[in-house]
């Protein structure tokens, strides 16, 4: 089959690789009909995640048609149209039983390698390095999906794969980020980063009762998309973010702050410029300027929720400020399987159409160009969806919700 492979820093290519095969009785094989590029893929693309190997197949947001099922698969049938959570989870370990699917103890074949770094293993992830299991991803024609009965979301007839595609990651991720804020009716939430994750965090914060959402970024069309979702936008390249936020919150700050930027944060203040240098010379793995700003802007006693990915060591972390303000931190890879049923319900009822975030559709052969465009946030690129059988790149006018 054809698949998008990682070849090194800023280098991905479409190659012919072996077709996936059933390896365990709980596996299924999927013919991919719709798949997406995520901000998390950019961390791989920029060479910032360890244990990637040349030829690794990328992609952890995908949907398709089931073409083969293992002998122990009961719920999912050949011919079903399904969306797959990016977290691979066994469904019955201590953490899966508690709904904490991204902390699964059983799904990472490289558990020992990861535990050497983190203390204990967490779940395997599609297309996300060998530390996380070395699973081939779904930017491909076919994919193998382990523990399919646990995660696969079988779609009802009225919903297309593209309509539900973002249940694989960014919708649950934005929702969990907002849920982690423990929003009480009428509270104010600020969201750093208006990429796809930030966009879903904004809409989820409103769904969970926020009275106001403040959105921070500098990419014009992303700020407009945030405003279309009801947020008040701040362009961090033009104004003093702390002053602007104080002005919008009666001087007290937002009750909760969401860092939907993660380890590749930009900025023009000295701490951000020092981060650029330290990351380039590998003295730190993650640039955390947006997180620092979120900590500073947060209301005393508030919550800082971090869906943005961090992979290692940050420099200049203002722990004393967070301590002094009595902040609560919530973070982590999303427990996707805990949210898919509820959020599919919202899509079916028409309460949200996740396709609003799509800016480009591409064929598999154009995915390397699409990575470059998405990485540079060029041509209004907010979210790329790929269909293996399409040809060329088409720009989509984003839906206005």
Ligand X SMILES: NC(=O)c1ccc[n+]([C@@H]2O[C@H](COP(=O)([O-])OP(=O)(O)OC[C@H]3O[C@@H](n4cnc5c(N)ncnc54)[C@H](O)[C@@H]3O)[C@@H](O)[C@H]2O)c1
Q: Name the site residues for ligand X (rule: CB under 6 A).
A: 38-40, 42-43, 169-170, 173, 192-198, 216-219, 222, 236, 260-262, 265-267, 289-290, 307-309, 333-334
Structural tokens at position 145: 């999906």
Which of ligand X, Zn ion, none does 96 bind, CB closer than 5 to 8 A by kind? Answer: Zn ion
C-alpha 22/C-alpha 6 separation (Å) is: 23
169 touching Zn ion, by CB under 5 A: yes
138 binds, among Zn ion, ligand X, none (CB under 5 to 8 A by kind): none
Contact of 30 with 62, CB cutoff 8 Å: yes
Chain position whose Cβ is nearest to Zn ion: 38
Q: Enumerate residues 6+ apart whose C-beta is below 8 A from 327.
A: 295, 298, 301, 302, 303, 304
Q: Which of 44, 52, 96, 143 binds Zn ion (CB under 5 A)?
A: 96
Answer yes or no: are the C-beta atoms of 384 and 370 closer than 8 Å.
yes
Q: Which of 5, 40, 139, 382 forms a contact with Zn ion (CB under 5 A)?
A: 40
Residue 336 in the binding site for Zn ion (CB under 5 A): no
- In the complex, the smallest distance separating the C-beta of residue 364 from ligand X, rounded to whole angstroms, is 20
Given a contact cutoff of 8 angstroms between Cβ atoms, the answer to whether 262 and 309 are in contact is yes
CB of 1 to ligand X, least distance (A): 25
* 106 near Zn ion, judged by CB under 5 A: yes
Q: Which does 222 bind (CB under 5 to 8 A by kind): Zn ion, ligand X, none?
A: ligand X
Work out the end-to-end distance of the chain between its first and last CA atoms, rounded to an integer number of angstroms.
37
When the beta carbons of 2 and 218 are compared against ligand X, the nearer one is: 218
Residue 152 found at the interface with Zn ion (CB under 5 A)? no
Buried b / exposed e along 196-208 (16+ C-beta atoms within 10 A): bbbbbbbbbbbbb
Identify which of residues 43 and 255 has a Cβ nearer to ligand X in the complex: 43
| Nearest-10 Cα torsion for 380, 382, 388, 389 | -40
Smaller CB separation from ligand X, 106 or 199: 199
Residues 345-384 that bind Zn ion (CB under 5 A): none
Among ligand X, Zn ion, none, the one that 194 touches (CB under a kind-dependent 5 to 8 A) is ligand X
Number of residues that bind Zn ion (CB under 5 A): 9
Cα 290 to Cα 117, 188, 275, distances in angstroms: 25, 18, 11
Q: Residue 315 in 3-state DSSP?
A: coil
Q: Does 334 bind Zn ion (CB under 5 A)?
A: no
From the list ligand X, Zn ion, none, partner contacted by residue 90 (C-beta under 5 to 8 A by kind): Zn ion
Read off φ and ψ for residue 82, nearest 5 degrees.
-135, 155
Gap between the Cα atoms of 290 and 272, Å rounded: 9
Nearest partner of 72 among 24, 32, 139, 127, judged by Cα: 24
104 binds, among Zn ion, ligand X, none (CB under 5 to 8 A by kind): Zn ion
Min CB(208)–ligand X separation in Å: 17
CA 385, 389, 393: angle at the middle one, nearest 5? 50
Q: What is the binding site for Zn ion (CB under 5 A)?
A: 38, 40, 89-90, 93, 96, 104, 106, 169
């Amino acid at each position: 089959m054809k698949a998008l492979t990682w070849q090194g820093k800023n280098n991905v290519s479409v190659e012919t690789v072996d077709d996936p095969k059933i390896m365990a009785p709980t596996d299924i094989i999927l013919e991919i009909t719709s798949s997406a590029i995520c901000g998390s893929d950019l961390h791989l693309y920029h060479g910032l995640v360890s244990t990637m190997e040349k030829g690794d197949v990328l992609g952890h947001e995908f949907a398709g048609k089931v073409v083969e099922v293992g002998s122990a698969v009961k719920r999912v049938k050949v011919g079903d149209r399904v969306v797959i959570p990016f977290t691979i989870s066994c469904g019955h370990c201590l953490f899966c039983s508690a709904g904490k699917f991204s902390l699964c103890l059983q799904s990472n074949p490289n558990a020992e390698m990861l535990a050497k770094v983190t203390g204990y293993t967490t779940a395997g992830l599609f297309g996300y390095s060998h530390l996380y299991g070395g699973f081939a991803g779904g930017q491909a024609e076919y994919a193998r999906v382990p523990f399919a009965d646990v995660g696969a979301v079988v779609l009802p007839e009225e919903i297309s794969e593209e309509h539900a595609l973002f249940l694989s990651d960014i919708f649950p991720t934005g929702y969990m980020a907002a849920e982690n804020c423990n929003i009480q009716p009428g509270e104010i939430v600020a969201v750093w980063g208006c990429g796809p994750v930030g966009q879903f965090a904004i809409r989820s914060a409103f769904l969970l009762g926020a009275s106001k959402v403040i959105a921070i970024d500098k990419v014009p069309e992303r700020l407009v998309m945030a405003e279309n979702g009801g947020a008040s936008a701040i362009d961090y390249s033009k104004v003093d973010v702390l002053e602007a936020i104080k002005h919008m919150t009666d001087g007290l700050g937002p009750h909760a702050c969401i860092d939907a930027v993660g380890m590749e944060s930009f900025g023009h203040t000295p701490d951000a410029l020092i981060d650029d240098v330290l990351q380039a010379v590998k003295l730190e793995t993650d640039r955390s300027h947006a997180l620092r700003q979120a900590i500073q802007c947060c209301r005393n006693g508030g919550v800082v929720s971090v869906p943005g990915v961090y992979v290692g060591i940050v420099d200049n972390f203002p722990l004393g400020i967070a301590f002094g303000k009595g902040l609560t931190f919530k973070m982590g890879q999303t427990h996707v399987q805990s949210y898919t049923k509820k959020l599919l319900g919202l899509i079916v009822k028409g309460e949200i159409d996740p396709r609003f975030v799509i800016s480009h559709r591409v064929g598999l052969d154009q995915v390397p160009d699409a990575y470059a465009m998405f990485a540079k946030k060029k041509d209004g690129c907010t979210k790329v969806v790929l269909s293996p059988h399409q040809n060329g790149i088409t720009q989509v006018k984003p839906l206005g919700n």
